[in-house]
Chain A
């Protein structure tokens, strides 16, 4: 099923309204792929990216949601969410990644004086490269995919051990009793 041109364009802009308008037939397939990978004992098996491409994308995700006092996109395995997305519901974004990674490589060589790939640059150099491309559709796409994977249900494979949810303080008990927060716990009706 094809997506409408309008939602596709807004999606590329990576905006909040794009998220609201997104329609992704095939998401369930991505979830199944992730589950099968876990069951097969090879959760890191790549479906779309080459090992080299995956290293580059993982390095980008690790700058978007870095590992600092708390784990980030790298520990959450978000690159695997993106890999499966590109093999399933985001199949029509494959060429955007392939081309985007070629362009990233060129930018990385420019910044590093021709010495290496993006993933091998220093943190400061990586930030310099991403700052230079942060307005491009490619960066918008990777940012959106990283955020979606990192905060999605862990079953999709990009929010390993609920790292994303723990960062926010979101719980998935789906069953609560009041009080829910600080202010209602201390509520006195006037």
Chain B
């Protein structure tokens, strides 16, 4: 295993070993650069993952623990934020790709240019991206082939063009998928097989999926989920030029008098401060921890936080919009088997001015819970008794139940943001993350719209009982987008179109934070494509010396 001394100036320090960090580490190290990846969470292996709804609540968990890293939450900047478990993210090597569901949608052309198509939306930061789908397409393809995705290209006319088919076929359809497909046909709608970052067959020496049913919230025991942990991180380590350093919690990105970054100060597992030197730094901490770290990295030269001359760091946070509905069917579906979702309705993707509000998304049919405990506590109809024989009877609908989940847009608002809490500290003494978030009215209308579509689909699918939780304001999130937006104008954005900070030539920010708009709230595929593209450019710049960093190799 390769290790570097902190005093050794490596080429790149990557902060965060998640979707973006894993990809960047692999690309940079295979291109010949020395890379240290600092990951605040542990380095867990397949044998550490348990298919146990209780054990995943123990530490070290796969996700962040609010008891040591508290969040505070408020709806508006006028309120005092209070403690709340608002933000959830993967906190281990592999990041969120270890425990996520792994539905893996590309964005479409429209996602990058909605402002041009639809016009401005007053009071919002609704804008085009500085890149197009065509710019990103080769990198979507690269991600699919490098990491191993399963799907069916060109299943509907809605899909964007692709330069190559998926490397692996789509998953076998589940009962939820059949019911959704039949319902859609009845309603004149269209479905696609859900693309998955899970191997439907063995690929590159990794095992194919065994349909165990423990994807969402669990790590994959057979390595079939194409997390960065299972796919690209081993390749990075194999180069002998990449060190993954777990239990390393970044406190500050260091700078010199000329305004360039020089490395990262972090806490090791014993909470000892260590400074790792580097020629360039890549921040891949996620859409909430990335702005927090930049804001924590204040200095005389950067009084408002690093890379924040625009004042935009932390702003325009988007958590997506979700709705769900549940249905019970006559025959068993056995949704606890195999992947979460196999079919998705694609007809409501675009925002339609006729609806009278901005918003679009897709709906899929799925298992919807973590397992039996989650089902009994979360997925019973609202009129089911809470205890007694009636409760017991309601639990017996486990194998007959499915949910329809919508994943939809949320608008970028300056007033939705990540700031440093002035009072609350984490267990390391750093200012806690303060989340200020309130849905735009169109976001709530979007949720309501999709709630109604989900109920219609359940009806058309022949559900013998259906219900949907009422639409509520977003108070928490795990799809973390915006907050260090990408743009051509350094006055209104944090990074350029290659994810380099406008203010600092050797600082890069690659994760959900650079999103300009939310897409349809399936960010990971695009985070990975952006990471491949940004890394390509870092390599080009480093080799040509155009970010004025001496190159070692």
Q: Which of A18-26, A43-51, A98-106 contacts B (4 or more CB under 8 A)?
A: A18-26
In the docked arrangement, what's the CA distance between A152 and B50, Å? 13
In the docked arrangement, what's the CA distance between A63 and B389, Å? 8
Is B395 an interface residue when CB atoms closer than 8 A count as contact?
A: yes
Known contacts A153-B52, A170-B372; decide if A180 and B391 are in contact (CB<8 Å): no
Is A55 an interface residue when CB atoms closer than 8 A count as contact?
A: no
Is A138 an interface residue when CB atoms closer than 8 A count as contact?
A: no
CB closest residue in chain A, given B85: A21
Q: Is the CB of A1 within 8 A of B373?
A: no
Which residues of the partner chain B approach A21 to less than 8 Å between Cβ atoms? 66, 85
Q: Which of B98-106, B227-235, B279-287, B332-340 contacts A (4 or more CB under 8 A)?
A: B332-340
Q: Is the CB of B388 within 8 A of A176?
A: no
Q: Is the CB of A183 within 8 A of B372?
A: no
Q: Is the CB of A169 within 8 A of B373?
A: no
CB closest residue in chain B, given A153: B52
Interface SS of chain A: helix, strand, loop or mixed? loop
Interface SS of chain B: helix, strand, loop or mixed? loop
Q: Is the CB of A169 within 8 A of B396?
A: yes
In the docked arrangement, what's the CA distance between A168 and B376, Å? 9
**How would residues 47 to 89 of chain A score, 1 for a CB under 8 Å from any chain B CB and 0 otherwise?**
0000000000000000111101010100000000000000001
Q: Is the CB of B211 within 8 A of A66?
A: no
Most-contacted residue by chain B among A4, A171, A183 (CB, 10 A): A183
Query: Using a CB-CB cutoff of 8 Å, which residues 65-101 of chain B contact chain A?
Result: 65-68, 70, 82-85
Q: Is the CB of A184 within 8 A of B54?
A: no
In the docked arrangement, what's the CA distance between A64 and B84, Å? 30
Is B51 an interface residue when CB atoms closer than 8 A count as contact?
A: yes
Query: Using a CB-CB cutoff of 8 Å, which residues 149-207 of chain B contact chain A?
Result: 172-175, 177-179, 185
Q: Is the CB of A156 within 8 A of B211?
A: no
Which residues of the partner chain B approach A172 to less than 8 Å between Cβ atoms? 51
Q: Is the CB of B395 within 8 A of A168?
A: yes
B388's partner among A22, A64, A150, A167 (CB-CB below 8 A) is: A64
Q: Is the CB of A152 within 8 A of B53?
A: yes
In the docked arrangement, what's the CA distance between A174 and B218, Å? 13
Q: Is the CB of A169 within 8 A of B392?
A: no
Which residues of the partner chain A approach B70 to less than 8 Å between Cβ atoms? 4
CB closest residue in chain B, given A180: B337
Which residues of the partner chain A approach B333 to less than 8 Å between Cβ atoms? 180-183
In the docked arrangement, what's the CA distance between A154 and B98, Å? 25
Is A132 an interface residue when CB atoms closer than 8 A count as contact?
A: no
Q: Is the CB of B372 within 8 A of A165?
A: yes
Known contacts A1-B67, A6-B83, A6-B84; decide if A180 and B334 are in contact (CB<8 Å): yes
Smallest distance from the beta carbon of A141 to chain B beta carbons, Å?
13
Number of A-B contacts (CB under 8 A): 182
Is B375 an interface residue when CB atoms closer than 8 A count as contact?
A: yes
Smallest distance from the beta carbon of A114 to chain B beta carbons, Å?
26
In the docked arrangement, what's the CA distance between A24 and B52, Å? 13
CB closest residue in chain B, given A65: B392
Is A37 an interface residue when CB atoms closer than 8 A count as contact?
A: no
Is A175 an interface residue when CB atoms closer than 8 A count as contact?
A: yes
Is B301 an interface residue when CB atoms closer than 8 A count as contact?
A: no
Is B310 an interface residue when CB atoms closer than 8 A count as contact?
A: no
Q: Is the CB of B55 within 8 A of A28?
A: yes
Is B407 an interface residue when CB atoms closer than 8 A count as contact?
A: no
Which residues of the partner chain B approach A109 to less than 8 Å between Cβ atoms? none
Which residues of the partner chain B approach A150 to less than 8 Å between Cβ atoms? 376
CB closest residue in chain A, given B173: A184
Known contacts A72-B392, A127-B388, A181-B175; decide if A176 and B59 are in contact (CB<8 Å): no
Q: Is the CB of B66 within 8 A of A184?
A: no
In the docked arrangement, what's the CA distance between A186 and B185, Å? 17
Is A190 an interface residue when CB atoms closer than 8 A count as contact?
A: yes
Q: Is the CB of A25 within 8 A of B59?
A: yes
Is A41 an interface residue when CB atoms closer than 8 A count as contact?
A: no
Q: Is the CB of A164 within 8 A of B372?
A: yes
Q: Is the CB of A152 within 8 A of B338?
A: no
Which residues of the partner chain A approach B399 to less than 8 Å between Cβ atoms? 168-170, 181
A143's partner among B213, B336, B386 (CB-CB below 8 A) is: B386
Q: A interface vs B, CB < 8 Å?
A: 1-7, 16, 19-28, 31, 63-66, 68, 70, 72, 89, 127, 130, 134, 143-144, 147-148, 150-153, 156, 164-165, 167-172, 174-184, 186-187, 190
10 A–B contacts from the bound complex (CB under 8 Å): A28-B55, A89-B58, A152-B52, A174-B212, A175-B210, A181-B174, A181-B335, A182-B175, A183-B175, A184-B178
